[in-house]
Amino acid sequence: MQSKKLVSLGVSLLLVVILSLFWGLVVSTESVMAQTRTAQDQQQSAPQAANTCLACHNNPTVTAIFSTPHGVGSIAGSASNGRGCESCHGASGEHASTMQSPAVVFGDGGGRFTASDVEIQNRQCLSCHQTTETVHWAASAHQSADLACASCHTIHVAPQTALIERTDSGLCLSCHLEQRSQLNRRSHHPVAEGLMSCTSCHNPHGSDTVALLSKSSITDTCTSCHTEERGPFLWEHQPVTEDCTTCHNPHGSTQASLLSVRQPFLCQTCHSEAFHPSSLYNGTGIPPAGAQQNLLGTSCTNCHSVIHGSNHPSGSRLTR
Ligand code: HEC
Ligand code: HEC
Ligand code: HEC
Ligand code: HEC
Ligand code: HEC
Ligand code: HEC
Ligand code: HEC
Ligand code: HEC
Ligand code: HEC
Ligand code: HEC
């Protein structure tokens, strides 16, 4: 009896194992088939002309695309050429006939159909826009933060610069609140004034430098405009050749000249020369008590006026 029970238990266990193996097989074959189906859809379903889609979507919010670069028929790959709407929305024949979801739905899923994965959305755009501009997109801060191309670019909209709806700095500042407040400080780069923009220094599509900078280093980014500080100088000031942001905050500062710390403290963070006290200066140097230059005006740079480097034969102390 005992052994028979054990045997039948063994048999049912075996059955369960076999069944689950079989089930696993079915499930995995199914998903493989599903994958192949989508792949086939992408490649083989007859391309739907834009007119098929416009039979239902002929409203101004959608057709605005025809006045953008994506709607110009003469451009290969644009919406009115080749695969039409499907060049972005993917093979959507079944959507047009049976109201299934379009293959690729952009945005955040606020519409009737669920939005596609951000990665799938972006792959559509990158299929045409794999350029030097976007080459560092993969693993960039914005890609890692799951930003969609369409979170910055509006596609169905009358033409504007690079299909950006707001001025691009306004776009960036809508997410980057810390920089918004820095740009309001008394010393700041003229971004809000419209003389330059975030993209004067940053490439939002990624870069091979820190902080999505568009040039190959911080210093290169700065000296692309401030050529006078680029050097090389006869007498270099080491932190200047290394990294401008050692002393400057690029976005804005409450100190003059975008300085991150007020003089003389800025200089004293590194220098403690015997005859230039590195201690705090007290009130005795305030006029009219006998002026102490380290407390006046531009402080250490009253005398060390060529702080970024000197080409004068006797400028080794950065005084001329
Ligand atoms: C038979 C009518 C019909 C046709 C043809 C049709 N659609 Fe749609 N489509 C709809 C309806 C209805 C909706 C849901 C209502 C809405 O969001 O506008 C929709 C929604 C969409 C959406 C928005 C998805 C979302 O939730 O944001 C996209 C994108 C779309 N269609 C693309 C296409 C494309 C591309 C084609 C051509 C291949 C096409 N449609 C053809 C009726 C149609
Ligand atoms: C270059 C890529 C691209 C092409 C081509 C394109 N779309 Fe879109 N479509 C998008 C993106 C991105 C969105 C999300 C909203 C936006 O950015 O404007 C969108 C949104 C939509 C929506 C939802 C709009 C809404 O506000 O509910 C519909 C419907 C739609 N597209 C239909 C079409 C049709 C029809 C065509 C062809 C005439 C077409 N699209 C061509 C990229 C594209
Ligand atoms: C089928 C190819 C194709 C696809 C897919 C595509 N584009 Fe384009 N895109 C073009 C072409 C062609 C132009 C016009 C030529 C140019 O400026 O490079 C263009 C231009 C642009 C521009 C510049 C517009 C300007 O005013 O200078 C932006 C931005 C852009 N596309 C973003 C996108 C985004 C975001 C997507 C995905 C939602 C996308 N594109 C999908 C082909 C494509
Ligand atoms: C964080 C916002 C942001 C995201 C995300 C973004 N872009 Fe852009 N894109 C911009 C801005 C801003 C410009 C204008 C750049 C300029 O003026 O120098 C631009 C310009 C472009 C241009 C035009 C380039 C040119 O040289 O004229 C293309 C094409 C483009 N983007 C494609 C894409 C694609 C594809 C993606 C997704 C992989 C994407 N963008 C994601 C902000 C963004
Ligand atoms: C939709 C929101 C959004 C928009 C719009 C946006 N960003 Fe970002 N950005 C992020 C997120 C999220 C991160 C990653 C987290 C962080 O560092 O704050 C990020 C990171 C960054 C970083 C830091 C990169 C690093 O390596 O530390 C820079 C620089 C940046 N963004 C610049 C820009 C610029 C320039 C624009 C406008 C063209 C822009 N962003 C638009 C959301 C946005
Ligand atoms: C003058 C050049 C310049 C301009 C203009 C500029 N940035 Fe920056 N940004 C930088 C530099 C340089 C860094 C790196 C700072 C560092 O590492 O200390 C940086 C860093 C950042 C970071 C990362 C901050 C962190 O703490 O990691 C963000 C986010 C950012 N910038 C957003 C913006 C936005 C948004 C704008 C437009 C409003 C903008 N920047 C305009 C030069 C600039
Ligand atoms: C796209 C060009 C451009 C780039 C890149 C640039 N700047 Fe500037 N910078 C300017 C302009 C324009 C001004 C304002 C000049 C004026 O007001 O006379 C300025 C002003 C300054 C000032 C003086 C601010 C004041 O309040 O007097 C400093 C310091 C400065 N930049 C440092 C930097 C640093 C550090 C970098 C790199 C992170 C940098 N800049 C990158 C264009 C640029
Ligand atoms: C060791 C600290 C330090 C470093 C590093 C530094 N600066 Fe400065 N910078 C200063 C000081 C201090 C001032 C203010 C000078 C004054 O008040 O007379 C200044 C002023 C400026 C100004 C305003 C115009 C002027 O000459 O008065 C610009 C522009 C500038 N720096 C650009 C740069 C650039 C670009 C770099 C990187 C190549 C850089 N700085 C690196 C300390 C530094
Ligand atoms: C991040 C550190 C750092 C900061 C901040 C800094 N310096 Fe320097 N400075 C150096 C280094 C390193 C040298 C080269 C020292 C050497 O060769 O012995 C140097 C050299 C000098 C020299 C040349 C003297 C010599 O011994 O060769 C002078 C003068 C000087 N700095 C003044 C200043 C002033 C004024 C400030 C503030 C505006 C300042 N430094 C800010 C690091 C710094
Ligand atoms: C009244 C003008 C004056 C002021 C203000 C001044 N210095 Fe000097 N500093 C000099 C002179 C002159 C020398 C050069 C002495 C020499 O050539 O031997 C010098 C030399 C230096 C040296 C090189 C020291 C060495 O041992 O070779 C450093 C570093 C320095 N100063 C930093 C500073 C700092 C930091 C401040 C602000 C706290 C400052 N200086 C303020 C005039 C000044």
Residues 161 and 254 both lie in one domain: no
Distance from C-alpha of 107 to C-alpha of 247, rounded to nearest angstrom: 41
CA of 110 to the centre of ligand 3 (A): 23
Nearest ligand atom owner, CA of 268:
10
Q: Of the candidates 117, 138, 165, which is a domain's last residue?
A: 165
Helix (H) or strand (E) holding 180, with range, is helix 177-182
Residues 156 and 235 both lie in one domain: no
* Number of domains the chain contains: 2
Instruction: Say yes or no to pLDDT of 27 above 50.
Output: no
Query: CA 315 → CA 182, 243, 244, 294, 303, distances in Å?
Result: 35, 21, 21, 20, 11
**38 or 217: which leads in pLDDT:** 217
**149 or 168: which leads in pLDDT:** 149
Q: Of the candidates 128, 144, 165, which is a domain's last residue?
A: 165
CA of 215 to the centre of ligand 8 (A): 19
Residues 70 and 154 both lie in one domain: yes
Instruction: Say yes or no to pLDDT of 23 above 70.
Output: no
pTM attached to this predicted model:
0.89
Lowest mean pLDDT among 31-45, 228-242, 295-309: 31-45
Assign 7 a pLDDT band (cuts: 50, 70, 90).
Answer: very low
Pocket of ligand 7 contains residue 257 by CB under 6 Å: yes
Assign 46 a pLDDT band (cuts: 50, 70, 90).
Answer: low
What are the pLDDT digits (tens) for 188-207?
A: 999 988 899 999 999 999 99
Contact between 230 and 217 under an 8 Å Cβ cutoff? The reply is: no
What are the pLDDT digits (tens) for 92-111?
A: 889 999 999 999 999 876 77
Q: Of the candidates 141, 165, 189, which is a domain's last residue?
A: 165
pLDDT of residue 274: 62
pLDDT of residue 38: 40
Q: In this structure, is residue 179 part of a structural domain?
A: no
Instruction: Say yes or no to pLDDT of 307 above 70.
Output: yes
- Which of helix, strand or coil describes residue 37? helix
Pocket of ligand 9 contains residue 307 by CB under 6 Å: yes
- Nearest CA owner, ligand 10 atom 2: 303
Give the ligand 4 atom nearest the CA of 198: 12
Distance from C-alpha of 285 to C-alpha of 281, rounded to nearest angstrom: 8
pLDDT of residue 252: 96
CA of 64 to the centre of ligand 2 (A): 10
Contact between 266 and 278 under an 8 Å Cβ cutoff? The reply is: no
The region that residue 173 occupies, defined by phi over 0 for left and psi between -120 and 50 for alpha, beta otherwise, is alpha
Contacts of 143 (CB under 8 A, 6+ apart): 122, 137, 206
Lowest mean pLDDT among 33-37, 154-158, 315-319: 33-37
Average pLDDT over residues 154-159: 77
Distance from C-alpha of 91 to C-alpha of 109, rounded to nearest angstrom: 19
Instruction: Say yes or no to pLDDT of 9 above 50.
Output: no
CA of 222 to the centre of ligand 2 (A): 39
CA distance from start to end of the chain: 106
Could you tell me the residue range of the domain that residue 139 belongs to?
Answer: 50-165
- Nearest CA owner, ligand 4 atom 1: 204
Q: Sign of the CA dihedral 124, 125, 126, 128? A: positive
Pocket of ligand 10 contains residue 293 by CB under 6 Å: yes
**247 or 42: which leads in pLDDT:** 247
Distance from C-alpha of 213 to C-alpha of 190, rounded to nearest angstrom: 18
CA of 136 to the centre of ligand 7 (A): 26
Give the ligand 5 atom nearest the CA of 197: 35
Residues 57 and 159 both lie in one domain: yes
What are the pLDDT digits (tens) for 113-122?
A: 999 999 999 9
What are the pLDDT digits (tens) for 224-282?
A: 999 999 989 999 999 999 999 999 999 999 999 999 998 888 998 898 876 666 666 66
What are the pLDDT digits (tens) for 281-290?
A: 666 656 666 6
Contacts of 231 (CB under 8 A, 6+ apart): 240, 241, 308, 309
Q: In this structure, is residue 29 part of a structural domain?
A: no
Mean pLDDT for all residues in the chain = 79
Q: In this structure, is residue 45 part of a structural domain?
A: no
Q: What percent of the chain has pLDDT over 90?
A: 47
